[in-house]
């Protein structure tokens, strides 16, 4: 992230928590609702202590009624409050699509600018330990498809806090897509409230041979892949879009104009995904002057299986990322990183199952 | 709403305004000037008139795509509504909404939705905001019988009852969803009884008795302002027009004019009008005609939005 | 299920098999060999045992992510289930499902879902198919108290009642959704009363009385096979384990062991076991231990799916 | 379409109707459910007469309960029946997302091949006469994003019938996306049952200068645009993917390899849409040997407004398609077709509002 002037290391879930707490402190209209936000686990720690701090009027669980509760949050937002609605898995948001797509996204426009929906939806992608088909989906593309919604995907603790605060201040519905495997990762996080602006892609690492655009926790995997590639003499530029929608593609296009090679690594399916969108923007770019080679990686075009042998093949990994990048840079190469080098970041940190 | 009038006159004025407005809409409609699907509530206006008579300016009301009456009763500008139907930039949503998504935030008209049932939880959200802000305002949300079949209806009632939110749910049961009769959709007719299991006051009105509705709702809303929590009423009623469009459709075979007769004979516009002195009634009628004519003129003379405005309001600043 | 045994013995066998299987799962769990979130129903097994005892092989049962008991009671293979938990290719879903999405079509075990409530309408769909095929089969669908808050619960009950479908809805009310107590989620505790407004038979069981459940359900299912339509029962119960995972969690502060005591003291496994001759009981117990050990061995020795199989079964041919 | 050997002209809605009737006649497991399928309007004629022919057990309306009714259809399909579930607008399918995405799409895979979901979902896109924000959406990209679902989009009466029959025979969940403005269009439709195979893009018109890929009713608009362009000496190859997912991109890639220019015209939003996917496939193509110029058209990145002046600007039209194509072929050209030439096909045929 952009040289944060802090020496305090915070975990991702702590940063989410601090962001919400500060947003609630600075604006009494902010409240938080969602299944289990007030229990002793506090959404893996990310909401822990908030009910004690702000009271049960401002931090409360809900019935298992995702559809209506989304409507309630939207209505409260229209009436001037600033709700944060929390879902422990993105998969469950399929129950909220009607309210999000047909009401939240459209109200400001459909009502001629007379209504605003300052709603924040926090949602988490699950992975590993057999979470399987219905606890693993990264469905950001569906939301990015719809004008009126904003979608952000913090890949580190610094962004987790800054995007939370920005989302609460924004006057539009914003979906924050978090990742379970990032919850225990640490970065430098300033103590004071700050925002990470929407619509600005970040160059995470500069490089000259190939551009890798990575989404959510794939940023972490891409960084590991870049290490492997660097040992092979390949210089990788890594870009984290941060905001999935509205997307800042200019930063990506500039990088691709330099490297001529683009690997997009998504934390979701490829078909009609954000990886397709990025590729399409590059194809239509007015910035890029050279011919570009493009390749996409993401979830396999299957449902997510639970068993580890299949699950490993389902996800992009530092190994598959590095090999795909190598293939773009040097199609003749038969290089394959060895398995010890490829151990995934999360394998050290995450102990499942939820 | 003219406060110096008697209750009867005030209610009459409201019912008549809505009725006449929709009749004029139906007259204009074949000209294709109104390029918006219109869902008329002719015959059903007495419900929103009775209920909304109890609301203050700071209270909220939410209707459906069949929402002209709710919009007008809550104080929405007739000019802005008519212009909206015409797709003009002076419309209440600057031409982006048409008849199905009326809104007027200054008068507490919650934006309406053309996806059945979706307005219900949104209205509950307004009630939640009221509770959080600790004011004594209330919300009324109108819905059809069909809307109660949507899961979000049950979810919304439960949440509102759980949190004792200041909201009145009004089911306008015209026994039809488009052309489908209620017995093809409801396992039993016991909705009011069902809602009462959520521990909230409920009442069913099987006749078009505007005063009975008015009285019951008045009492409930008073208690609601003091924190009593939500309430539900079911009003049987009859839709005179086709589901969407300007015409009647008793000739289409899916319902009969005979079955409609008890309702049409007891038209509240007439029964209520008969309680007024003819002179008073005439003066109200005249005022209404003028008002509607002005609105039509306003709509006709207003400009269409400039195509360049297409990208305005995608995101709020 | 051994038909030559007495009813008490048959029910005991079922409850004991489920209990011991889950206890063994809990024992193995810390080894990380089971790479799947497990939701144990220890303490609740008597409900599915009592209900499913009435089902034929061609009938259907649908559980939830907390579905080991439903799967086993309906006749699902223990070997296949254990292998599925281990992620092995011999599992009931070839390692693609884990504990949360058990299935066994040959024995009428409808695929279970980890998205709360979603199994309810799917089960109703099976009942619709039965009606269309004009057989006398029935469906039983299990759900937690939390699931009844989802809109699809109300929608499903209405549709099943409207079409008189052969389905029994069983609400296992353990008063908890994860750690959230029911009074933070339900406006009132009157669900059984509410469901009866759909015009179907309903009954609430507030005690762990396996015979009362068994008897009532038997009568209802008999009538259901003759076209009587759906039925709903609510069984109060208690979850001994944490929501997900192998441990108990009374020390976590969200609930107390004291409140659990009445339930744990009246553990059906014990009260039912006491009605059996000790020798019979021992022989059942021994058989169960052998069966479970075999299943564990089977799971351990089975191979993992080959990564090349990843793309199998995306589309049916 | 592929030279159908029929001289019988049928309207699109009649072809949908005949396809369903024949599918129901040939397999007693097929039934149809959905709001209003049995009323006197019969989903704009497309289901008229079916209840008389097959009885109320096999053709019935439902309560307004899209979520559960989708689950019911899925369950019936799993149990061996073959439901056709009808929605009069695609927008309302946002209420069905949970069942479609989390159950229908995943069951065959998640249950290890032991369960099948032969479900057909018919759904219509609305347009014009003020249908507005919530009666106009083309949300096919969301469904195409999810492995396990199939999505087809008949652009003419011939395909409407053939795809319906194929969808019913297919053992997977298939979403048929129809378009209100196509309902009155006619084509040659054989009387006997026949199928239009999934996964085969069709070359609607051959040409050499530019490839236009068009979705759903945009095929009609593209044909009109091609007429305008032909008068300017530009030869257009028009491709109708027919199946949105799984997409046959090879046919598109071959065409693009020939023309070097690709204009994709979607009946939906661009961001993470099928137009992005097609562009991305072209970028990663192993068939295409030359550098390609790509441009996308689709819904404006706004909510659909009701008023005609804005609505006209919201949709691609023969004029905007022709001008975009001209711009790709000849960036210097300032050609603009005159308005009389550009009158939209549907403006002659469709009388609103629903
Ligand atoms: C979710 C959804 N499903 C279906 C429709 C199509 N539709 C529009 S109005 C309507 C009938 C609604 O009936 P009811 O709620 O009783 O209201 P009424 O029209 O009788 O006032 C239907 C099914 C829709 N707009 N939204
Ligand atoms: C739609 C949905 N929302 C939330 C969750 C997270 N979740 C998993 S289990 C559960 C509690 C369900 O409670 P209940 O239905 O009573 O079943 P129990 O676990 O008590 O058996 C929740 C909220 C989910 N899986 N699906
Ligand atoms: Mg109605
Ligand atoms: Mg429970």
Residue extents of the structural domains in chain B: 7-303
Q: Please, what sign has the CA dihedral across residues C152, C157, C161, C163?
A: positive
To the query of whether residue A179 is one of the catalytic residues in this protein, the response is no
> Coil, strand or helix: which one is B275?
coil
- Residue spans of beta strands (DSSP E) within A88-148: 120-125
Is the Cβ pair C129, D65 closer than 8 Å?
no
Q: How far is it, in rounded angstroms, from Cα A151 to Cα A143?
A: 7
pLDDT band at A166 (very low <50, low <70, confident <90, very high): very high
Residues in chain C: 317
Give residue-wise pLDDT tens across range B63-100: 999 999 999 999 999 999 999 999 999 999 999 999 99
Q: Please, which pLDDT band fits residue A350 given cuts at 50, 70 and 90?
A: low
D1: in domain: no
Minimum CA–CA partner of D97 in chain A: A94
- In this prediction, residue A341 carries a pLDDT of 74
The percentage of chain A sitting over the pLDDT mark of 90, rounded to a whole number, equals 93
**Which atom number of ligand 1 is nearest to the Cα of residue B243?**
19
Asked whether the beta carbons of A337 and C20 are under 8 A apart, the reply is no
- CB contacts, 8 Å: A81 with chain B: 128-129, 132-133
Q: Could you report the per-residue pLDDT of A217-249, keeping only the tens digit for each?
A: 999 999 999 999 999 999 999 999 999 999 999
pLDDT at D123 over 60: yes
d(CA B126, CA B132): 10
pLDDT 10s digits, C170-181: 999 999 999 999
Instruction: Give the length of chain B.
Output: 317
d(CA C228, CA A177): 48
In this model, does residue C158 exceed pLDDT 90? Answer: yes
Q: So what's the pLDDT on residue C47?
A: 98
A214, A163: one domain: no
Residue A195 resides in a domain: no
In angstroms, the CA D245 to CA A92 distance is: 24
Q: Cα separation of A269 and A275, whole Å?
A: 9
Is the residue at A196 inside a domain?
no
The span from the CA of C316 to the CA of D171, in Å, is 6
Mean pLDDT by 10 residues, chain B (317 residues): 84 98 98 95 98 98 98 98 98 98 98 98 99 98 98 98 99 98 98 98 98 98 98 98 97 96 97 97 98 98 98 98
D236 and D147, same structural domain?
A: no
DSSP assignment of C252-287 equals GSSS-HHHHHHHHHT-HHHHHHTTS-HHHHHHHHHH
Q: Is D66 one of the catalytic residues?
A: yes
The partner residues of A152 in beta bridges, in order of sequence, read A176, A243
Residues A116 and A143 both lie in one domain: yes
Task: Answer yes or no: are the C-beta atoms of A26 and A193 closer than 8 Å.
Answer: yes
**Same domain, residue pair A183 and A69:** yes
Helix axes of B7-28 and B278-301: crossing angle, nearest 10 degrees = 40
Mean pLDDT score, D20-45? 98
- pLDDT higher than threshold 90 for residue D345: no
For residue A344, pLDDT beyond 90: no
- What does the block give as tokens for A203? 């160059």
Count of CB atoms situated within 10 Å of the CB of D60? 16
User: Which candidate in A94, A135, A302, A309 is best for mutational testing of the C interface (most C CBs within 10 A)?
Assistant: A309
Average pLDDT over residues D71-80: 99
Share of chain D above pLDDT 70, in %: 95
- Rounded-to-integer distance, Cα D72 and Cα C152, Å: 10
Q: What is the CATH number of the domain that holds A252?
A: 3.40.50.920
Q: Is residue D165 part of a domain?
A: yes
DSSP result, B17-38 = HHHHHHHHHHHHGGGT-S-S--
Tokens 């209750």 correspond to B7
What average pLDDT does range C75-99 have in this prediction? 98
Question: Contact at 8 Å (CB) between A104 and A125?
Answer: no
Q: Do residue C115 and residue A91 have CB atoms under 8 angstroms apart?
A: yes
Helix (H) or strand (E) holding D21: helix D12-26
Q: Does domain C7-303 have CATH number 3.40.50.620?
A: no
In eight-state DSSP terms, residue B309 is: G
A41: left (phi over 0), alpha (psi -120 to 50) or beta: alpha
* Same domain flag for A173 and A215: no
| pLDDT beyond 50 at A335 | yes
Q: A280 and D284: CB-CB below 8 Å?
A: no
Between CA A207 and CA C238 the distance in angstroms is 58
Instruction: Give the whole-angstrom CA distance, residue C272 versus residue C287.
Output: 17
Task: Report pLDDT for D92.
Answer: 98
Query: Chain D contacts of C162, Cβ < 8 Å?
Result: 63
- Could you tell me if A171 and A221 lie in one domain? no
Q: Which ligand is nearest to the CA of A124?
A: 2
pLDDT of amino acid A346: 47
Q: Which 3 state secondary structure label does DSSP give D10? A: strand
Share of chain C above pLDDT 90, in %: 98
Task: State how far the Cα of D296 lies from the Cα of A335, in Å rounded to an integer.
Answer: 37
The neighbourhood of ligand 3, an ion, using CB within 5 A, equals: B 144-146, 174, 176
pLDDT at B1: 52
Question: By residue range, what is the domain housing residue A162?
Answer: 9-190
DSSP helix/strand/coil, D308: helix
Per-residue confidence (pLDDT) for residue A340, from 0 to 100: 78
Q: Which tens digit of pLDDT belongs to each residue from C17-45? A: 999 999 999 999 999 999 899 999 999 99
Pair (A119, A236) in one structural domain: no
Mean pLDDT of A185-203: 97
Q: Does A198 touch chain B (CB under 8 A)?
A: no
Asked if the Cβ–Cβ distance from B194 to C197 is below 8 Å, we say yes
Q: Rounded distance, CA D113 to CA C95, Å?
A: 11
Question: Based on the domain organization, do A120 and A184 belong to the same domain?
Answer: yes
Confidence of residue A353 (pLDDT cuts 50, 70, 90): low
Record: contact B126-A117, CB cut-off 8 A: no
A317 three-class SS: coil
User: At CA A61, angle to CA A58 and CA A66, rounded to 5?
Assistant: 115
Whole-number pLDDT of residue D341: 74
Peptide bond before residue D270 is cis, with ω within 30 degrees of 0: no
Q: How many whole angstroms separate alpha carbon C120 and alpha carbon A64?
A: 14
List the one residue out of B50, B47, B12, B83 whose CA is nearest residue B214: B50
CA distance B7 to B13: 10
Ligand nearest to the Cα of B39, by number: 1
Residue D352 lies in a domain: no
Residue A342: band (very low, low, confident or very high) from pLDDT cuts 50, 70, 90: confident
Whether residue D346 has pLDDT greater than 50: no
**pLDDT given for residue D327 in this prediction:** 98
In tens, the pLDDT along B228-263 reads: 999 999 999 999 999 999 999 999 999 999 999 999
Q: Please report which confidence band the pLDDT of residue A338 belongs to, taking 50, 70 and 90 as the band edges.
A: confident
Rounded to an integer, the average pLDDT of C247-268 is 96
Both A243 and A123 in one domain: the answer is: no
Closest among D117, D51, D47 to D81, alpha carbons compared? D117
As a whole number of angstroms, the distance between CA C157 and CA B179 comes to: 23
Q: What percent of chain B has a predicted confidence (pLDDT) above 90?
A: 98
Taking contacts as CB-CB distances below 8 angstroms, the residues of chain B near D62 are: 185
Per the listing, tokens 């924040």 go with A120
Characterize the bridge pairing of strands D261-269 and B139-144.
Answer: unpaired
β-strand pairing of A174-179 with D9-11: unpaired
The band of A6, judged by pLDDT with boundaries at 50, 70 and 90, is confident
Q: C273 pLDDT band (50/70/90 cuts)?
A: very high
- Which chain D residues are closer than 8 Å to C123 by Cβ? 75
- Here the ipTM equals 0.98
User: CB contact, 8 Å: D253 with chain A?
Assistant: no
Q: Among B121, B150, B151, which would you mutate to test the C interface (most chain C Cβ atoms within 10 Å of its Cβ)?
A: B151
CA B174 to chain centre: 13
Asked, as a colleague might, if the bond just before A353 is cis with ω within 30 of 0, I would say yes
CB-nearest to B155 from A63, A110, A147 is A63
Same domain, A13 and A118: yes
Residues A42 and A171 in one domain: yes
**Phi, psi for D268 (deg, rounded to 5):** -170, -175
Same domain, A38 and A164: yes
Q: Residue A112's closest CA among C61, B83, B33?
A: B83
Q: Contacts from B207-213 at CB under 8 Å and sequence distance 24+? A: B207/B236, B207/B266, B208/B46, B208/B236, B208/B237, B208/B238, B208/B263, B208/B266, B208/B267, B208/B268, B210/B11, B210/B15, B210/B46, B210/B49, B210/B50, B210/B268, B210/B272, B211/B50, B213/B46, B213/B47, B213/B50, B213/B51
Q: What is the mean pLDDT of residues D105-127?
A: 98
Tokens 């409050």 identify what position?
A: A81
Cβ burial A26-51 (10 Å sphere, 16+ → b, else e): eeebbbbbbbbbbbebbbbbbbbebb
H/E stretch holding D130: none
Report pLDDT for D350. 56
What is the domain-level CATH number for residue A176? 3.40.50.970
CA–CA dist B56, B241 (Å, integer): 31
Q: Is A8 exposed, middle or buried (0-12, 13-18, 19+ CB in 10 A)?
A: exposed
DSSP state of C181: E
| Rounded average pLDDT over D226-254 | 97
Total count of domains within chain A? 2
Average pLDDT over residues C140-158: 98
Q: Which ligand 1 atom is nearest residue B116's CA?
A: 26
From CA D282, how far away is CA C53, in angstroms rounded? 58
Give the separation between CA C139 and CA D131, rounded to whole angstroms.
Answer: 42
Rounded distance, CA B116 to CA B102, Å?
14
Decide if D4 is inside a domain: no
Length of chain A: 354
Q: Report CA Rg, chain B.
A: 19
């Amino acid at each position: 992230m952009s040289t944060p002037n802090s020496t305090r290391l915070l975990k991702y879930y702590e940063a989410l928590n601090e962001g919400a707490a500060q947003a609630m402190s600075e604006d009494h209209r902010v409240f938080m609702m969602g299944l289990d936000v007030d229990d002793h686990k506090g959404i893996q720690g990310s909401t822990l202590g908030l009910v004690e701090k702000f009271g049960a009027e401002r931090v409360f669980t809900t019935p298992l009624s995702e559809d209506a509760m989304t409507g309630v949050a939207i209505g409260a937002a229209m009436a001037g409050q600033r709700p944060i609605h929390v879902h422990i898995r993105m998969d469950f948001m399929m129950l909220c699509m009607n309210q999000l797509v047909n009401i939240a996204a459209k109200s400001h426009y459909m009502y001629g600018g007379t209504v605003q929906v300052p709603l924040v939806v926090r949602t988490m992608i699950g992975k590993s330990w057999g979470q399987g088909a219905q606890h693993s989906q990264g469905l950001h593309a569906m939301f990015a498809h719809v004008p009126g919604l904003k979608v952000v995907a913090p890949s580190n603790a610094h962004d987790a806090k800054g995007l939370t605060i920005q989302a609460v201040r924004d006057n539009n519905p914003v979906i924050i897509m978090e990742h379970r495997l990032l919850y225990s990762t640490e970065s430098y996080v300033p103590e004071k409230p700050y925002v990470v602006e929407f619509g600005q892609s970040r160059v995470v690492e500069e490089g000259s041979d190939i551009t890798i655009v990575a989404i959510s926790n794939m940023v972490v995997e891409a960084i590991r892949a870049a290490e492997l590639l660097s040992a092979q003499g390949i210089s990788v530029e890594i870009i984290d879009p941060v905001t999935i929608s509205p997307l800042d593609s200019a930063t990506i296009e500039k990088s691709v104009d330099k490297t001529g090679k683009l690997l997009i690594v998504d934390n979701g399916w490829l078909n009609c995904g954000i990886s397709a969108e990025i590729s399409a923007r590059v194809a239509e770019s007015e910035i890029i002057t050279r011919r570009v080679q493009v390749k996409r990686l993401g979830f396999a075009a299957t449902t997510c299986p639970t068993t580890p042998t299949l699950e490993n093949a389902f996800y992009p990994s530092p190994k598959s990322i590095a090999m795909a990048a190598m293939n773009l840079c040097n199609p003749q190469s038969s290089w394959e990183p060895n398995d010890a080098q490829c151990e995934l970041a999360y394998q050290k940190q995450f102990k499942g199952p939820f | 709403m003219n406060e110096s009038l008697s209750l009867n006159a005030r209610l009459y004025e409201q019912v008549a305004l809505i009725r006449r407005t929709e009749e004029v809409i139906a007259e204009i409609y074949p000209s294709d000037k109104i390029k918006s699907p219109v869902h008329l509530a002719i015959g059903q206006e007495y419900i929103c008139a009775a209920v909304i008579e109890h609301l203050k300016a700071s209270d909220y009301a939410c209707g459906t795509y069949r929402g002209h009456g709710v919009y007008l009763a809550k104080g929405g500008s007739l000019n802005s509504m008519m212009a909206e139907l015409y797709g003009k930039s002076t419309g209440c949503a600057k031409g982006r909404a048409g008849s199905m998504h009326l809104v007027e935030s200054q008068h507490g008209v919650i934006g309406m939705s053309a996806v059945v049932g979706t307005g219900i939880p949104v209205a509950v959200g307004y009630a939640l905001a009221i509770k959080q802000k600790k004011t004594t305002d209330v919300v009324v949300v109108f819905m059809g019988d069909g809307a109660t079949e949507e899961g979000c209806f049950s979810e919304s009632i439960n949440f509102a009852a759980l949190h004792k939110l200041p909201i009145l749910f009004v089911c306008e049961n015209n026994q039809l969803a488009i052309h489908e009769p209620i017995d093809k959709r409801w396992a039993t007719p016991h909705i009011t009884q069902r809602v009462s299991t959520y521990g909230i006051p409920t009442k069913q009105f099987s006749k078009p008795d505007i005063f009975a509705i008015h009285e019951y709702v008045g009492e409930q809303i008073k208690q609601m302002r003091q924190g009593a929590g939500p309430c539900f009423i079911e009003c049987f009623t009859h839709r005179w027009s086709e589901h969407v469009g300007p015409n009647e459709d008793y000739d289409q075979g899916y319902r009969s004019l005979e079955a409609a007769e008890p309702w049409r004979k007891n038209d509240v516009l007439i029964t209520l009008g008969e309680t007024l002195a003819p002179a008073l009634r005439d003066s109200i009628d005249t005022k209404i005609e003028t008002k509607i004519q002005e609105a039509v003129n306003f709509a006709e003379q207003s400009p269409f939005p400039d195509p360049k405005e297409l990208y305005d309001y995608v995101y709020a600043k």
